Amino acid sequence: MYRILKPFKLLIVISLLQSSLSFSSNIENSTNHIKTIVFGAGCFWSVEKKFQETYGVINVESGYADGKNIKPFYKEIIKRENRFNPDNYAEVVKVTYNSNKTNLENLLKTFFEMHDPTQENRQGNDIGVQYRSVVLTSSKEETLLSNKIKNKYQSLLKEKGFGPIKTNIKELTNFYLAENYHQDYLKKNPNGYCPDYSTGVVFSKKLDKFTDNKNLVVGKKILILEAEGCPYCYKLRQDVLNDYQGSFEIFYRKSNELDEIELKSPTWATPTIYFLENGKEVWSHQGYLSNEKFYKSLGRFKLGKTEAYNVAFNQGTDPTYCKEYELFKNTPDGVFIDKLSGAPLFSTKYRFNSKTGWLSFTEAVKDSVTEHMDYSYGMVRVEIRSKSSGIHLGHVFNDGPNGKPRYCINATVLEFVPNLDT
């Protein structure tokens, strides 16, 4: 005998059933907003970096796709015989994103803007089919949208004088995860540069901005080319540039802020360090430079083939009573600074006449120099170097006045600043 439920109880049962069905449906659709798309735009670690910084992106994985008949391993795809093999895999990244925070159109625009899609089978100095521009989709709808965005970008590129886009758009057939050392490449390799092969053409029209570089085109200057989110740029500032106090002014610019400057070297790598004279490039270096290498390069730029350079980097010695010694032996109160870094080294408060023909001090500015054993010329001495730049300054001996040390210092590697006593 079946028991008939009262209407009120029946409504409760129906409501519970609906809630249960709704809960099951929510579980089933809870990840529908997590989507993936695969892009190839040259060397995968530069593309990986850009998308890792993009809002709404959850994960970026480097890998190989769109190839066949060869093994999907890095050592295989870079072989000479596969460099222009049409079956070779492309270096790609699989981008996983939250479609509630961003959408495929935004990612496609980022993709086209980050590289030069008019280059076929290359990006910058990277040449070969593995560096081809490609979008690998998961549905016909994604393919249609990708082609739509591609056509829009083609129109923008044409206005700026660029040729046809070479990007291939098709549905994804395979994706193989790259070796572990290719994942999060920039985090694992702190000494390098961030490639930027972008054309400068963007979907959102921006007002053309003219950068006033009039101070850069007169005299000797240092130009640092940077980009937003470049970890090597940040590291260069932290390790080297933030402590620089030298006489050559440093200017920081992005690639679209180089008006009136004559550069011979490419501007697609950040950081790039340029030494300029009257607005023209004299020397440049792409990528991070250690403190030692930065100051050695600056030494060539500022000192040239002089006695000062020989002293600073070849542990040379000034002639006794040289011109710089005569200039510095009786200055007013002040401080002697590192000729390259500008860091204070010795105060006139501790200067004395040792009658040796070299500048002498009883002590150095606190924490400004380092000591190193020197066994050259059959002698045992203590060498003194500038802590900031690493350049050779001279030696320290135990024969100063009143039992104090005697810092015997080469004048050619110093500059004098009056009334800056430490």
Amino acid at 276: L
Closest CA to 178 of 95, 79, 63: 63
Ramachandran quadrant class, 322 (left: phi over 0; alpha: psi -120 to 50; beta: rest): beta
Beta carbons within 8 Å of 6's beta carbon, 6+ residues apart: none
**∠ Cα 222 224 225 (to 5°):** 145
Task: State the burial class of residue 123 (Cβ atoms within 10 Å of its Cβ: 0-12, 13-18, 19+).
Answer: buried
Instruction: Specify the DSSP element, H or E, that contains 30.
Output: none
Closest CA to 122 of 185, 230, 195, 226: 195
- Contact yes or no for 34/95 (Cβ under 8 A): no
Block residue for tokens 């697609």: 268
- Measured torsion, CA atoms of residues 214, 218, 220, 226, in degrees rounded to the nearest 10: 20
Q: Which neighbouring-strand residues pair with 337?
A: 344, 415
- Contact yes or no for 318/308 (Cβ under 8 A): no
β-bridge pairing 168-171 and 133-137: parallel
Ramachandran quadrant class, 16 (left: phi over 0; alpha: psi -120 to 50; beta: rest): alpha
Amino acid at 265: S
Closest CA to 196 of 281, 287, 107, 121: 287
Q: Which neighbouring-strand residues pair with 35?
A: 97
Establish whether 43 is a catalytic residue.
yes
Cα separation, 416 vs 320, whole angstroms? 19
Instruction: Specify the DSSP element, H or E, that contains 253.
Output: strand 250-253
Cα separation, 199 vs 268, whole angstroms? 10
- Measured torsion, CA atoms of residues 251, 255, 257, 261, in degrees rounded to the nearest 10: 70
**Catalytic annotation, pick one of 43, 194, 230, 233:** 43
Catalytic residues: 43
